């Protein structure tokens, strides 16, 4: 009995310890559960706050979008109003266009009537007696008074035209640069074209009964028309005038300029001119009285000019048309002096004459 009692006491002690363990484990489980629930509640709270913030952002975007929609609606309304105004304006302009078309039709009718009247007047003009046509047209006749100071006195007028290489350019460097050009380009040099047009203009403005001759000079002095060297061309001779001007447009400037030989040639003409028109661009560059194989300086060219003056026939007015070259400052004064001494005139046309 005693042993049995002892065993029962051992069993009871073991059972209490087991219960204690079970209770502790159960308590631990409860504690873990309680802690887990608390953390889950904290996470749910954070998710709700984030959702609320997102909802607030979306609400703000919706409000901004509504504002933009209202602005677009206002713009659309304004555009529609502007379109209505344009339609109204177009209707008014269409009415104005119709009125202008009517005015244009009236003007066309008036123009037709004026044209008929003009044709009638032209027919009456043709029936009137007319003067003989000009042998050669006057270039730019509106400016025919530009060179009225040039002396074209008498029945015989001589044009003495310089055709040296300097006539190719406005400066010595420009002229030298053009020396290597083909002949057709030399003929087209602006300065030489001015000289040709000046001769053309002067010939065209001569009186019909006036006789003229054209001599060209560089190192030599030759007539423009060798076949008519001793013949003076009368201004009313249409064929002769046209032949001379056609030949002039074929001349190519080249070489140096011997004014002394040119004046000497004039002195020994079988019929001396009543007046001389000298067309040049500067002082002579060579002379028979003082041959110089090299380039002539300013002093030498002045001496050549003085030698040339001695060969000039007396009591003949010499008018000078100077196309000045840069780098020849003594030329204007000396030619002006010569023109004054012979009772001629001195003119230096503008670069654009006779075109403008």
Q: What is the DSSP string of 134-184?
A: PSSPPTTGGGTTTTTTS---SSEEEEEEE-SGGGG-SBHHHHHHHTTS-HH
The confidence score (pLDDT) of residue 105 equals: 75
What is the predicted pLDDT for the residue at 41? Answer: 65
What are the angstrom distances between the C-alpha of 60 and each of 54, 55, 63, 65, 74?
10, 9, 5, 9, 21
Beta bridge partners of 275: 157
Residue 13: per-residue pLDDT:
52
Q: pLDDT by residue (tens digit) across 97-149?
A: 778 877 877 777 777 777 777 877 777 666 665 444 444 454 444 444 445 56
Return d(Cα 17, Cα 294) in angstroms, integer: 146
Give the pLDDT score at 139: 47
Provide CB contacts within 8 A for 341, sequence distance 6+. none
pLDDT cut 70: percent of the chain above it: 84
Confidence of residue 220 (pLDDT cuts 50, 70, 90): very high
Looking at residue 81, what is its pLDDT? Answer: 86
- Does this model's pTM top 0.75? My answer is no
Over range 333-337, report the average pLDDT.
93
pLDDT confidence band for 153 (50 / 70 / 90): confident
pLDDT value, residue 142: 44
pLDDT at 71 (0 to 100): 85
Average pLDDT, the chain: 82
In this structure, the strands spanning 156-162 and 211-217 are parallel
């Amino acid at each position: 009995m005693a042993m049995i009692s002892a065993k029962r006491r051992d069993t009871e002690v073991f059972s209490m310890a087991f219960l204690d363990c079970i209770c502790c484990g159960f308590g631990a489980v409860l504690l873990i559960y309680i802690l887990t629930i608390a953390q889950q509640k904290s996470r749910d709270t954070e998710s709700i706050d984030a959702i609320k913030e997102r909802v607030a952002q979306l609400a703000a975007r919706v409000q901004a979008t509504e504002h933009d929609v209202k602005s677009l609606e206002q713009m659309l309304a304004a555009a529609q109003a502007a379109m209505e105004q344009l339609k109204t304006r177009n209707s008014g302009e269409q009415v104005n266009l119709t009125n202008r078309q009517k005015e244009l039709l009236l003007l066309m009718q008036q123009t037709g009537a004026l044209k008929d009247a003009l044709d009638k007047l032209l027919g009456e003009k043709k029936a009137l007696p007319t003067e003989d046509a000009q042998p050669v047209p006057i270039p730019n006749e509106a400016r025919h008074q530009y060179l009225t100071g040039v002396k074209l006195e008498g029945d015989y007028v001589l044009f003495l035209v310089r055709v040296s290489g300097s006539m190719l350019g406005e400066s010595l460097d420009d002229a030298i640069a053009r020396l290597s050009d083909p002949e057709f380009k030399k003929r087209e040099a602006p300065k030489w074209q001015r000289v040709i047009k000046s001769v053309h203009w002067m010939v065209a403005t001569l009186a019909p009964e006036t006789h003229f001759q054209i001599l060209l000079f560089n190192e030599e002095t030759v007539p423009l028309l060798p076949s008519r060297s001793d013949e003076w061309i009368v201004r009313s001779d249409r064929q002769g005038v046209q032949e001379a001007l056609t030949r002039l447009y074929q001349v190519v400037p080249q070489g140096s300029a011997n004014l002394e030989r040119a004046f000497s040639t004039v002195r020994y003409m079988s019929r001396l001119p009543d007046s001389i028109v000298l067309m040049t661009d500067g002082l002579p560059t060579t002379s028979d009285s003082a041959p110089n194989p090299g380039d002539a300086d300013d002093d030498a060219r002045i001496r050549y000019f003085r030698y040339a003056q001695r060969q000039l026939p007396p009591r003949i007015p010499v008018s000078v048309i100077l196309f000045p070259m840069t780098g020849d400052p003594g030329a204007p004064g000396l030619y002006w002096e010569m023109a004054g001494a012979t009772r001629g005139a001195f003119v230096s046309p503008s670069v654009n004459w006779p075109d403008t």
